[in-house]
């Protein structure tokens, strides 16, 4: 029993917020002292002012989804899912290669994967794009895993 209790901090560590991204990080928290309504407005304005387009928005749940964007000079596309809450803006994302697969004449256009901090080319590019978007807010960032 003591052995299990002593291992608990090891197993719970991956869920703890981090100052820097670690392997598996899939969410960025932008910390501040604003209300959910203020954060929703700030998120929308910051995204629009920086060339993002909003594909979906829900003022009741304070969520935004951006239209897919190309990652630099790659074939990858990504979009962001943003949720505004009291004292933080939460950013997650999805990415895929811009190359559509066709098997037997059937295309799979929605083969997006969750953006995670990993040491694999596409994941690195996608995570860096998500992090760069978070840095546009000019507020403290905390990295985590959901």
CATH number of the structural domain spanning residue 44? 3.30.530.50
Is residue 10 assigned to a domain? no
Q: pLDDT at residue 35 above 70?
A: yes
DSSP secondary-structure letter at 35? Answer: -
Is residue 53 assigned to a domain? yes
Could you tell me the pTM of the whole model? 0.82
97 falls in which pLDDT band (50, 70, 90)? confident
Phi then psi for residue 91, to 5 deg, are: -120, 130
Q: Is the dihedral of CA 127, 95, 136, 134 positive or negative?
A: negative
Q: Determine which of 14-18, 39-43, 55-59, 136-140 has the lowest per-residue pLDDT on average.
A: 14-18
Provide the domain count of the chain.
Answer: 1
**Strands, E, within 67-144: which ranges?**
69-70, 76-85, 88-97, 102-103, 106-107, 113-114, 141-144
Specify the pLDDT at position 14.
45
How many Å apart are CA 18 and CA 70, to the nearest integer?
28
How much is the average pLDDT of 107-117? 82
How many Å apart are CA 91 and CA 93, to the nearest integer?
7
How many Å apart are CA 137 and CA 146, to the nearest integer?
21
Is residue 6 assigned to a domain? no
Is residue 81 assigned to a domain? yes
Is residue 1 assigned to a domain? no
Mean pLDDT of the chain: 87
Q: How far is CA 16 from CA 11, 77, 121, in A?
A: 10, 29, 25
Specify the pLDDT at position 107.
57
How many Å apart are CA 117 and CA 66, to the nearest integer?
20
Is residue 12 assigned to a domain? no
Q: Tell me which residue range forms the domain holding 80.
A: 18-144
Is residue 7 assigned to a domain? no
How many Å apart are CA 139 and CA 43, to the nearest integer?
12
Phi then psi for residue 45, to 5 deg, are: -65, -45
Burial class (CB in 10 A: 0-12, 13-18, 19+), 54: middle
Share of the chain above pLDDT 90, in %: 71
Specify the pLDDT at position 80.
98
Is residue 13 assigned to a domain? no
Q: pLDDT at residue 105 above 80?
A: no
Q: Determine which of 16-20, 105-109, 117-121, 124-128 has the lowest per-residue pLDDT on average.
A: 105-109
């Amino acid at each position: 029993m003591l052995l299990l209790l002593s291992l608990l901090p090891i197993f719970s560590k991956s869920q703890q917020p981090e100052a820097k991204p670690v392997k598996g990080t899939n969410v960025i928290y932008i910390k501040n002292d604003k209300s959910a309504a203020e954060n929703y407005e700030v998120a929308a304005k910051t995204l629009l002012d920086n060339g993002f387009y909003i594909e979906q928005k829900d003022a009741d749940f304070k969520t935004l989804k951006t239209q897919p964007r190309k990652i630099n000079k790659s074939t990858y596309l990504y979009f962001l899912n943003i949720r505004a809450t009291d004292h933080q803006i939460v950013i997650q994302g999805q990415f895929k290669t811009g190359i559509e697969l066709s098997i037997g004449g059937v295309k799979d256009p929605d083969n997006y994967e969750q953006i995670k901090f990993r040491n694999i080319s596409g994941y690195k590019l996608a995570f860096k794009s998500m992090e760069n978007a978070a840095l546009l807010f000019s507020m403290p960032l905390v990295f985590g895993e959901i």
